[in-house]
Amino acid sequence: MKKQYTSRRATFGTAILCGLIVLFAAFAMYSTANIASLANQMVKHPYMVKSQSAAMRTRLLEMKLHLLPSLLTSQNQDPDMIYRMLEERDRLQDSSLLAIRAHYLGAREDLTALETAMGRVRAARKQAVHDSATLKSPQEILTYVEQRVNPESDALDSILQRIAAMADARMESFRFTTESTRDTMFLGTGLLCALLILLIIFINRNERNKNQAIAYRERLFKLLSNSIDDVFFIYDYSEGRANLEYVSENSLRLFGVSSEELCRNPAALERGLPPQSLSALSALFADGRLDEIAERDLQYSRNNQMLDLRLRVYPIQSEGALWRAIAVFSDLTKMVAQQKALSDALLSAKKANSAKQDFLSRMSHEIRTPMNAIIGMTAIAAKYSDDKTRVADCLGKIEASSKHLLSLINDVLDIAKIDGGKLSFSHAPFNFPNFINTLTSIVYPQTVARQQKFEITISGLIEETLIGDELRLNQMLINLLSNAIKFTPQGGEIRLEITRLQTERSRALLRFVVRDTGIGMSRNFLEHLYTPFEQADSVAQNYGGTGLGLSITKNLVSLMSGSIAVQSTEGAGTIFTLELPFDLPEKATFPHRADLSRLSVLVADDDQVTGEHAMLLLSQMGIQGDWAGSGQEALEKAAKAHDAGRDYAVCFIDWRMPGMDGLETAQRLREKVGKNTPIIIISSYDWSAIQQQALAAGVNAFISKPLFASSLYNSLTAIACQENSACATPQQSGPYDFKGKKILLAEDNLLNQEIALEILQSASLRVDCANNGQEALEMYQRSEEGEYALILMDVQMPRINGYEATRAIRDLPRPEAKKVPILAMTANAFSSDIAAAKEAGMDGHIAKPIDVPVLFRTIAAHLGEENPTSS
C-alpha cells in the first residue's frame, strides 16, 4: 500500500515537476518571446547604434594613433600603401555608418552631420598623406596633423558621442517594469549569460581578426624591407639608453651580418666601421637627447670593399621623453661613385677645354710666325728684286717657313683624321736605305745647326725592301727625332737605333729606339704625354710647338699594330722605343751579281753594333771580314795581315773614333800597307768638310752610315772592278732633262698652274694646261695618238674632278688611254687619298706643295727614264 502511495506520489511529483517544467518552459518561451521582442527593439536601435558608434570611435582613435608614424616614414615607403590602409579603415567605417543610418531613431540632422564629418576626416587624411612629401621635418608633419587633421577627427568623435548618448536615452525607455524584471530575472540572467558567451565569442573573434591583421602588416613590412636597399634599426629608449629592438631582415645584403646576429650582438656592426665612422655612430646613440632627425655619412667595410652609407635617425617622443628611435642605413656607394665620375668627367672636360684653348693660342702663334716670315720675306724680295743674292736669301727663308707651316697644318689634319676614325695606311714596298737617307738629310742639318751629335745604327736587318707605310713611318720618326733635337741642348747627343727582332721569312718586326741627352720629362708629365693639345707649361713657353706630335705618333703606332714606350728622367734625357711590324717581299732585296768571296775586308768602328752589323752583311755576301773596335786595333790587324802577305782588299774606317780617329788611322795604315789597299771612310756626317784632308791622307772613298748591303756591295764591286777592266764604271746621274716629252697638266688654280709650269719647263718638258677635269678630258680626246707622254691631274677641280676625269680617260676607246701614266698632283696627301687615286686608275701620287726632286723622280720612273740627263 505504501509502495503504491509512494509510487503515486512519485508519479504526482513527477507530473507536477513535468507540469512545472512545462509551465516553466511555456513561461520561458513567453518571456523569451517578450524579451526577444524587447531585445530586438534594443538591438535594432539603441544597442546597434551605440555599439557601432563605439566601434567607429575606436577605429577613429586607432587611425589617429597610426597616421602620424605613417606620415613620419612616408619618405621611405610608398604613399599608395598608406592610401590603401586608409581605404581599408574607411570601408569598416562605412559599414558602421550604414548600420547606424538603418537603425537610428533620432533626428536625421545627426546622420547628416555624421556623414559630413566623415567626409571631412577622409579628405584631411588624404591631403595629409599628399602634403607629407613636401614637409621637411617631423615637427612640421606633427604641426600639420594637429592643425588640419586632428580637429576634424575630434569633430567626428563629438558627433559619435552625441549619437551614442541618444541611443542610451532610447535604451532607458525600453526597460522592463519591476514586476516584469522580477518575473524574467532568471531568464534575464540566462540571457545575460548567453550575451556574455556571445560577447566572449565576439571578443575572441575580434582579437583573432586583429592578430591576423597584425600578422598581415608584419608580412607586408618584411616584404617591404626585403625589397628595398635601406636597412631599418629600431632602438628602445624606455630604460634611458639605446637597446636594439629590431633589425630588418635585409641587413645581410648590406652589412653581411644577419638581423638575428645583430639583435643578439649589436657590436657585430661595429667590426666593419672605420674608427672615424664608429666614433660618429657611438656619439649619436650615446644618450637619449635626440630631439630631431639626425643625419650622418659613414663608411663600412664589407669583404674588403669600402661602402659609403648615410644614416638617418628618426626620434619618437612619448610624454616629452625619447621613447623609440628609428635608424635607417642607406647605401650611397653607387651614387658617390657616379658623382665622383661626373666630377672627374667635368674636371677632365674643363682641362680638355683649357688645353684646346691653350692649343689654339699656341697654334695662332705657331702659324703666324711662319706666315709673318713668308709675308715679310716676300715684301723684302719684291723691294730688292734687282739684288739676286738678297732675293735668293729671301726665297730660301720663304721655303723654310712654308715647310714649317705645312708641317703644322699636317699635324692638325692628322689629329682630326685620327679623331674621326678616317685615317688609313698604305701597304706598299719601299726602299729602306733610301728611306734612311731621306730621314738623315732632314735631321742631320738640324743637328749640325745646333752643334749636336747625331748617329743612326742598324742591327740584324739585311733586307732593304720593306712593305708598309713609308710615309707614316717617316712621320713618326721625324716627330720623335724633332723632339729630341728640340729638347737637347748644344753639344748633346741624339741616336737612332734600328734592330730587327723577328726573323720570320715573310715578316720583320723592327725596333726603333730614339735616344737623346736632353732635358728629359717629369714623372707627372709622362702620365699625359700622349694627350693631344697638351704640353708642359715650360715647354710651351720655351720651345713652342702644337703638342700634337706625340699624340699622333701614339695613335699611328696603335693603328699599325705596334707599340711605343718611353723612359725619361729630368735632366738626364729620354728614350723612346717603337716596335712596328713590316712585311717582306718574296724576292731577295738585291741580286749579288759579282762574286766577292775572294775579298777580305777590315772594318774599324768603335761602335759594337755597327761592327757586328757590318760583319753580318759581309757574311751574307760570302766575304770574310774582320772587325776592329779602335784605330789602334785596326793598325795591328792590318800590319799582321800585311806581314803575312795577305793584305786586306779594302779597309772601312770610321771617321770618329776615340783616341785615334779615322783620318789618323788612315794615314798610319797608308804608311804601313802602302798605296794599294783601298781605304774607305765610314761617316754619319757630311764629309765635305774633311774631304780634301781625307784624300790627302790616302782615303779612296766615303760611305755613309748606317751600312746597308747595297752600299757595301756597290763599294766592294767598285773595288773589284778596278782590278778587272771588264767592269764598266756606272755613269753618274746628272740633272733631269725630258727634252722631246710633252705632258698634259690639269690644274684649276692659276697660281699653282704657273708654279707647276715653271718647274716642269725647267726640265725641258712641253706642257699643255687644262683648267678643269672636263677640259683635260676633251684635250686628251682631241690629241693625236701618243702626243701626251704623261698626265698630271689635280683632284679637286670644278665641273668634273680628277678622279672622274681619270676614269673617263681610261674608258676612252683608244689603246693608249689605258696605258698613259696619270699622276695625281694634289694637296690631298693622306694614305686614303693615295688609295682613292689608285682606285680611280691613276698610276701615282705627288703631294702638294711640290717637292721638285720627288716630282722629277716620279715622272722619270713613269716615263721609263730612270736617269734622264742632258746630252
Task: Using pLDDT thresholds of 50, 70 and 90, give the confidence band for residue 176.
Answer: very low
Pairing of strands 453-459, 428-431: unpaired
Q: How far is CA 738 from CA 268, 756, 758, 790, in A?
A: 95, 15, 14, 12
Task: Using pLDDT thresholds of 50, 70 and 90, give the confidence band for residue 766.
Answer: very high
Write down the pLDDT at residue 871: 34
Task: Using pLDDT thresholds of 50, 70 and 90, give the confidence band for residue 733.
Answer: very low
Task: Using pLDDT thresholds of 50, 70 and 90, give the confidence band for residue 821.
Answer: very high
Write down the pLDDT at residue 734: 42
**Are the C-beta atoms of residues 446 and 408 closer than 8 Å to each other?**
no
**SS3 of 591-612:** CCCCCCCCCEEEEECCCHHHHH
Q: Could you read off the pLDDT of 785-820 as tens digits, one per residue?
A: 889 999 999 888 888 889 999 999 999 998 889 989
pTM of the predicted protein model: 0.46
- Sign of torsion over alpha carbons 844, 849, 851, 856: positive
Q: Rounded mean pLDDT of the chain? A: 77
Q: Could you read off the pLDDT of 102-156 as tens digits, one per residue?
A: 777 777 888 888 889 888 888 888 888 888 777 777 788 788 888 888 888 888 8
Q: 804 or 255: whose pLDDT is higher?
A: 804
Task: Using pLDDT thresholds of 50, 70 and 90, give the confidence band for residue 250.
Answer: confident
Write down the pLDDT at residue 727: 43
Q: Which three cell numbers stand for residue 90?
A: 574607411
* Rounded Cα distance, 63 and 60, in Å: 5
State the average pLDDT over residues 821-844.
Answer: 78
Task: Using pLDDT thresholds of 50, 70 and 90, give the confidence band for residue 302.
Answer: confident
> For 137-143, which contacts have Cβ atoms below 8 Å and span 24 or more sequence positions?
137/292, 137/293, 138/72, 138/292, 138/293, 138/314, 138/315, 139/292, 141/68, 141/71, 141/72, 142/68
Q: Could you read off the pLDDT of 589-601 as tens digits, one per residue?
A: 455 556 677 778 8
pLDDT at 54 over 70: yes
